Amino acid sequence: MQIKLQAIECGWARLVQTLTFLNSFPRRIPTLVVAVLLAVPAAALAEGTAALQQQQPAPSASTTQQRQGQQPGPTPDAQTAPSGTRPGANQPGPTTPGRQEPRSVVLTVQQPSVQQPAVQQPAPGTPQSDNTSGAQPTTAGPLAPGQNVGIAAGIAPAELPTEPPPVAPNFEAPARRLPSAERVGVDIANQTPITLIEAISLALQNNNDIDSSRIDVKIAEYNLTGTRGVYDPVLSSESFYESRTTPTSSTISGGLNGFVTQKDATGTTSLNGFSPFGGGAYRLDFSATRLETSNQNATLNPQFPSSLVASYIQPLWRGLRFDNNRRQIEIAKKNLSLTDAQFRQRAIDVISQVQQTYWDLVFSLRNLQVQIDAVKQARLQVESNQRLVAQGVLAPIDIVAASTQVTTFEQNVYTAQEAVTRAENTLKTLILPDRSALLWNRPLTPVTPVSLEPPRVPLEQAVSNALRSRPELAQLRTSAEINRIDTRYYRELTKPQIDLVGTYTTVGLAGTPTPPRQSSSNTTTGEIIQRVNQLSAIVGLPPLNSTITTVSSTVPPNLVGGLTQSLLNLAQRNYPTYNIAVRVSLPLRNRTAEANLGSSLAQGDRLVNQRAQSEQMIEAEVRNATQSLRSAESRLAAAAAARSSSEQQYESEQRQFHAGTSTIFLVLQRQTELLAARGRELQAQTDLNKAISDFQHATGNTLEANHVAVRTDAPSRTLEMQTENGAGLSSSFLDPTQAKNQ
């Protein structure tokens, strides 16, 4: 096989020399025929010799050792073998310095009898002995399937996997009609130019993720308002009617028939709440009643009692400086700032995605144009080859080679067109609210210049800006502040509960006095006095006073009246009650509060570690973004130089081809290299633009670099595009609902 390759290589070299010779002399065709006739027999002779060597049996080991003992030096084959053979073949002998040995196919083929016999391959697992006899290693017989080819001496060959079963052997796609070359879903005739700023503006107006983040901010604002509502006083009232009959066991209870019946209609009103100062709680209760009773001892019937009770509880230790209500308000404030940072983070992410997708669309459109231009150049080459074949300068196979190049480039065109559709649809999903938007069925044409100037920011300044502006660190700072709030509250819970309780009560009363009645005991007393007076007259004593008293109610004038008089008495506070108490609650061991405090402290330590890790990752991202920026800029310069060189080489190769000193293969190769160089330059420019976007994202400067401001004075968070002097653009953002309705 080695001899066959050498013969073919030699024949090819002779053919190239003959073609060069034909360019200098007018009789080219006969000489070409002669060169082909000379090259074909040499290749056939090499094939016959290789087959003869494969059929020759290998000598035994004893014969090999005997020959090695008789011929310790290099074999004749090793002296005549050309240089540059593969490992395992006969090595060349010494040559004269500065002189290249000619490759002779005839000598190698004509001496099969003196060829060095091949050494048998050792069995698997048998160690190979070093070649110390001085003889050059020779090639073995044909390798079996599954063995490695080209393994250097001393390295065990690796086992190749078993060949898979044949799947669709001899497959050839049938000829079919090509589909439409138009893009899917858009009207090419209705192009819509769009700048990067306009794309960002549309995205911030219509992006659903930003709308969700804006709603999260609203929810956080409502939560803050709700937590502050804990200090809103609560007013409650109750009105009821009650009839109660109570049995009595003595006449003092006032029951005539052994029971007393009371009927009352009562109305109560209470006002209670928490104080935002000192963690206190207050309560105010008012009640008024109309009471009717069958008690004979009541002096007012009906009567109107009223009362007003005011109480206040003031913590003296736990909850004095900080309590759960104030904790919830502080956490709600921090959650609002946290959602605000998340809103900024989402806006930054959306802007970065729009930038990346915008430049992807730019690259895909320009790449499509490059591929189309390549197809046009390849078709021109086919036409040129057809003319040269008609003139008899080229062989017809050169037309086939150029046509193959055309079909290869056409495949690249279809792939590039698919990339355009994908990139455009991705951009539309970012900047349009839904599929009913006007731009959804229109092709987008980016018009922003691609030659962007990369920022020149020192690494230290970039890292400092990132640590100050990245929303992730702002979120971690907010989480740490929330943790400190929890720690303060749980530390308060470890203290004893000591409260000062004060109560003030005032009552009022009024009613209708009951009519006076005569007591039943007055009759008996009169009879006794009369009898005593009679007996006293007999013995000559003076009579007793016989005046009979009647039982009547004695009611103060200020208690006579209705409900109005009762409320007036209540307001005058003539009947107050004061109560001051100290209430102490001391849980034994208090393990729950101590566990909550320990958990909060551990959470704080974890947040410190997370912050250190985030700062490290952010600095690494800034470094990577800075390096990527520099590398992309350097690659762009190198790609531009390579593209310029490829253009010059392609033009030079075309001139040489038309002059007859080059081949169609080299022309097509230069054409492919030029296409690849243009694609690399375009990709390098796109990578530079993306690197600029990544650098802005890494340093947290995306909003400022794109002149986007977050307005917090509106009812909801809004984003507004601004010019460099601070004025709003004509296409400033509207509310998302307004933007979608337009």
Using an 8 Å Cβ cutoff, are 116 and 75 in contact?
A: yes
What is the pairing mode between strands 192-194 and 444-446? Answer: parallel
pLDDT at 427: 93
3-state secondary structure 250-292: CHHHCCCCCEEEEEEEEEEEEEEEECCCCCCEEEEEEEEEEEE
Which of the four pLDDT bands, split at 50, 70 and 90, describes residue 298? confident
> What mean pLDDT is predicted for residues 300-319?
92
> Mean pLDDT lowest for which of 2-6, 60-64, 596-600, 678-682?
60-64
Percent of the chain with pLDDT over 90: 27
- 3-15 burial, b for 16+ CB within 10 Å, e for fewer? bbebbbebbeeee
- Asked if the model's pLDDT at residue 453 lies above 90, the reply is no
Which of the four pLDDT bands, split at 50, 70 and 90, describes residue 75? very low
- Asked if the model's pLDDT at residue 319 lies above 60, the reply is yes
Q: Encode pLDDT of 458-504 as tens digits.
A: 999 999 989 988 888 988 999 999 999 999 999 999 999 999 999 99
> What mean pLDDT is predicted for residues 144-152?
51
pLDDT at 718: 72
Domain boundaries in the chain? 1-57, 233-315+497-516+554-585, 326-488+592-741
Contacts of 609 (CB under 8 A, 6+ apart): none
Q: For all residues of the chain together, what is the average pLDDT?
A: 77
Could you tell me which residues are beta bridge partners of residue 506?
308, 576
Which of the four pLDDT bands, split at 50, 70 and 90, describes residue 11? low
Which of the four pLDDT bands, split at 50, 70 and 90, describes residue 140? very low
In 3D space, the residue among 219, 213, 194, 478 whose CA is nearest the CA of residue 348 turns out to be 213
Q: What is the greatest pairwise CA distance in the chain? A: 197
Q: Encode pLDDT of 260-292 as tens digits.
A: 888 999 999 999 999 988 899 999 999 999 998
Which of the four pLDDT bands, split at 50, 70 and 90, describes residue 546? low
pLDDT at 522: 54
Backbone φ and ψ of 449, nearest 5°: -60, 140
> Mean pLDDT lowest for which of 172-176, 289-293, 304-308, 658-662?
172-176
> What mean pLDDT is predicted for residues 695-704?
88
Residues in the chain: 742
Kindly compute the dihedral angle of the four CA atoms of residues 74, 78, 79, 80, in this order, to the nearest 10 degrees.
160
| Whole-Å CA distances, 443 to 194, 365, 427 | 10, 11, 11
pLDDT at 281: 94
> Mean pLDDT lowest for which of 121-125, 355-359, 410-414?
121-125
Residue 23: count of CB within 10 angstroms of its CB: 10
3-state secondary structure 341-396: HHHHHHHHHHHHHHHHHHHHHHHHHHHHHHHHHHHHHHHHHHHHHHHHHHCCCCCC
Its pTM stands at 0.61
207-216, 289-298, 357-366, 716-725: range with highest mean pLDDT: 357-366
- 288-304 burial, b for 16+ CB within 10 Å, e for fewer? bbbbebbbeebebbbbb
Higher pLDDT, 524 or 215: 215
> Any idea what DSSP says for residue 67?
H
C-alpha gyration radius of the chain: 54
pLDDT at 153: 66
Higher pLDDT, 171 or 559: 559
Higher pLDDT, 102 or 664: 664
Q: Encode pLDDT of 346-355 as tens digits.
A: 888 899 999 9
Find how far residue 734's CA is from the centre of its chain: 26
pLDDT at 44: 52
SS3 state of residue 429: helix
The Cα 444–Cα 190 span in angstroms is 9
The Cα 650–Cα 672 span in angstroms is 9
- Asked if the model's pLDDT at residue 127 lies above 90, the reply is no
Q: Which CATH number fits domain 326-488+592-741: 3.60.21.10, 3.40.50.740, 1.20.1600.10, 3.40.50.12280?
A: 1.20.1600.10
